[in-house]
């Protein structure tokens, strides 16, 4: 029950997304607090840690490397390339999507140094670069496998068609895409394509960026650098409508005997044995709560009820704004 497979790797169903220890949701925790959280995760039995070159423009890989390198044999290490911070003429780093083979190779070399390791277990193309054939990007990743610098290839936020094209070049071990009760896009095609091809599916933001925990009630005080400020579902009017959906969901969690966050994670895990989750947190208490969700067993009826309470039929607002959506390759439901 408490294990899933990602290619040749056996992992606990609930891994740790490390992004918000350095990036995305406002001021990150102190170095000491971030280190304490990573080590507590390791002590709990978390054996799947996910980072990326983008997160903190390298700072997150440096953090993970500094803290976890002494324990390298105890976990699956995942990172990402193809979306990094590039300094402009003003010296300010900005996010750039670049899937060219030379960039992928250079990013990997930098990541190995920051992560203090000789090999990355699972290396994702963070976003598809529409100016580069996916076959070329995956070909570069395949070269890294042959060179012994990475063990397995992953893709993030891609369509089933892109997955199939990539898989024809080199076996793809995992797809990482946003998936939760309020983001169902993988159900269009990617979940089934992964099952068919033997590809693991890793769900990021399975708690809907804190919405499904039930603890985020006010969205007016987001930090200036919080990425949710640009997400339509978190505008005051949309979020008020979405909050109203949580009453029945919270009642169902009480009936199951778990927290709303645990119900949300258990629902994602119930979608298939090839599915894992990587919630992120800066709180040790929430880390422990999330980890325990793997033991929550839902009946088919409870899975169906949760899915009916919150889903694309009643969530207010699209996942991304129009500008960000142009960068995403995953299938979209009709407007």
* Residues with catalytic function: 55
Tokens of 190: 């990617």
Tokens of 274: 């090839």
Tokens of 18: 């490390």
CA-derived radius of gyration, the chain: 19
> What gap in Å lies between CA 59 and CA 283, rounded to an integer?
19
E strands in 120-266: 120-125, 150-156, 174-178, 200-204
E strands in 186-312: 200-204, 275-277
Tokens of 98: 């670049």
**CA–CA distance from 1 to each of 4, 80, 269, 296 (Å)?**
8, 28, 11, 10
């Amino acid at each position: 029950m408490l294990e899933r497979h990602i290619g040749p790797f056996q992992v606990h169903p609930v891994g740790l997304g490390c992004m918000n220890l350095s990036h995305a949701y406002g001021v990150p925790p102190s170095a000491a607090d971030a280190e304490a959280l990573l080590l507590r995760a390791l002590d709990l039995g978390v054996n799947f840690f996910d980072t990326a070159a983008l997160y903190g423009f390298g700072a997150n890989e440096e953090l993970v490397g500094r803290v976890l390198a002494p324990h390298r044999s105890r976990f699956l290490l995942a990172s990402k390339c193809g979306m990094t911070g590039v300094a402009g003429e003003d010296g300010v780093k900005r996010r750039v999507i670049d899937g060219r083979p030379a960039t992928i190779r250079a990013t990997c070399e930098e990541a190995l140094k920051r992560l203090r390791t000789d090999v990355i277990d699972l290396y994702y193309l963070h976003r598809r670069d529409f100016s580069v054939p996916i076959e070329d990007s995956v070909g570069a990743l395949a070269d890294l496998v042959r060179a012994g610098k990475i063990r397995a290839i992953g893709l993030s936020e891609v369509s089933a068609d892109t997955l199939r094209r990539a898989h024809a070049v080199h076996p793809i071990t995992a797809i990482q895409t946003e998936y939760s009760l309020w983001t169902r896009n993988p159900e269009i095609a990617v979940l089934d394509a992964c099952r068919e091809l033997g590809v693991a599916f890793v769900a990021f933001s399975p708690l809907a960026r804190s919405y499904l925990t039930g603890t985020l009630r006010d969205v007016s005080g987001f930090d200036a650098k919080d990425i949710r400020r640009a997400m339509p579902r978190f505008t005051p009017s949309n979020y008020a409508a979405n909050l109203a959906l949580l009453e029945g969901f919270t009642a169902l969690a009480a009936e199951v005997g778990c927290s709303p966050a645990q119900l949300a994670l258990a629902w994602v895990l119930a979608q298939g044995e090839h599915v894992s989750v990587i919630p992120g947190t800066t709180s040790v208490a929430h880390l422990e709560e999330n980890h325990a969700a793997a033991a929550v067993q839902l009946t088919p009826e409870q899975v169906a009820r949760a899915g009916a309470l919150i889903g694309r039929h009643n969530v207010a607002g699209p996942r991304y704004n129009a500008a960000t959506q142009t960068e995403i390759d995953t299938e979209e439901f009709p407007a």
